[in-house]
Structure 1
């Protein structure tokens, strides 16, 4: 992971800690190119966590928006999830 990425995640962690009392509900939002395996990888990342996952295809069907509402134990767990899914080709984290 490059220095800019590390800095981004460190800032995110500080902001999350400043604005939440843990554990807390957190809403992850992603956009991926529409492909069953990419959507499945995101769903798998949140498997067994009691997450509510909603998917919506774009008008053209080329992209899928994925919202994941889930209880997270702390800011580091959120950062770890972002890092875990960042390996999915074409993913955009919002």
Structure 2
């Protein structure tokens, strides 16, 4: 993500998703976060009650955890909203 201009990044992402996918659609989010149960729980809570399938895997040394979330969303705007919510989790990296 362009940290200098996140609004532009999200606008372009939303346009690209609208052009390349039909909606509603399943979308796969991937995040990397420190292996802190509280931070991982924050990500889980963002996707509560959405029917999301969430898989977590610790890194080889256990310092980081990758969190993959597959969820059916109504439109590209909903994808961007979820990315923005997860961005509030301290230290999260969105892939």
Question: What TM-score comes out, normalization by structure 2 length?
Answer: 0.95
Structure 2 residue matching 1:43: 3-state secondary structure: helix
Q: Runs in 1 of length 4+ with deviation above 4 angstroms?
A: none
User: 2:23 & 2:15 partners in 1: Cα distance?
Assistant: 13
Q: CA deviation at 1:3?
A: 6.5
Structure 2 residue matching 1:21: 3-state secondary structure: coil
Structure 1: where are the runs of 5+ without partners? none
Compare 79-88 and 2-11 and name the one that shifted more: 2-11
Question: What TM-score comes out, normalization by structure 1 length?
Answer: 0.96
Which residue of structure 2 aligns with residue 63 of structure 1? 64
Q: How many residues align?
A: 93
Structure 2: where are the runs of 5+ without partners? none
CA RMSD of aligned residues (A): 1.1
Which residue of structure 2 aligns with residue 76 of structure 1? 77
